[in-house]
Amino acid sequence: MKNRKKRIDVIIDLIKNQCIASQEELAAQLLKRGHKVTQATLSRDLKMLRTTKVPTDRGTYMYVLPDSDSLKDKLLIGGQSLPHADFQSGLISIRFSGNLAVIKTRNGYASGLAYDIDMKNFPEILGTIPGSNTIFAVLSEDVSRERAREIFSSILSLPVEGNNLNLP
């Protein structure tokens, strides 16, 4: 059991700090750190951690962990870190129009974020419609933009100030 805990900690560290594209790559990285695992064991570990494989802007895939914002995806931004972007959530911007919130994400992230928003069951959010990089969130008629910003800030773990959130 001790070995499994250590292995899980290493997997979390690798996924948070590197762009891991496959189980084979992850197994090789684990082996370098003294953890020899079978594909079946690794698959169970990834399922237990609720990892998701998401597309990158370079046409590849990478594993991400739920509720994590520590990865500065250097492959996607040429080795430079953007100060406000949340690469694990994929959020780019939030803008409001009437009782709609238009949430822009990196390609492939909208569905997962829409799911997270819907699962919070805020009565002020009637529902979401995700595309591949955009979410339309329908707000109740009586919800102020200030309240909507508070809700989205709590779900997406980002400070939302002013009428819109626009990340670089």
C-alpha dihedral, 109 to 91 to 149 to 65, nearest 10°: 70
Tell me the mean pLDDT per 10 residues along the chain, length 168. 85 88 94 94 91 74 67 35 46 89 84 86 94 92 90 70 45
Amino acid code (one letter) for 123? P
Residue 133: burial class (beta carbons within 10 Å; 0-12, 13-18, 19+): middle
pLDDT, position 161: 47
pLDDT of 61 reads 81
- Provide the pLDDT for residue 157: 59
Q: Which residue has tokens 């998401």?
A: 54
- In this prediction, residue 119 carries a pLDDT of 87
Q: What is the pLDDT of residue 19?
A: 84
Residues 61, 108 contacting (CB under 8 angstroms): no
Q: DSSP character for 22?
A: -
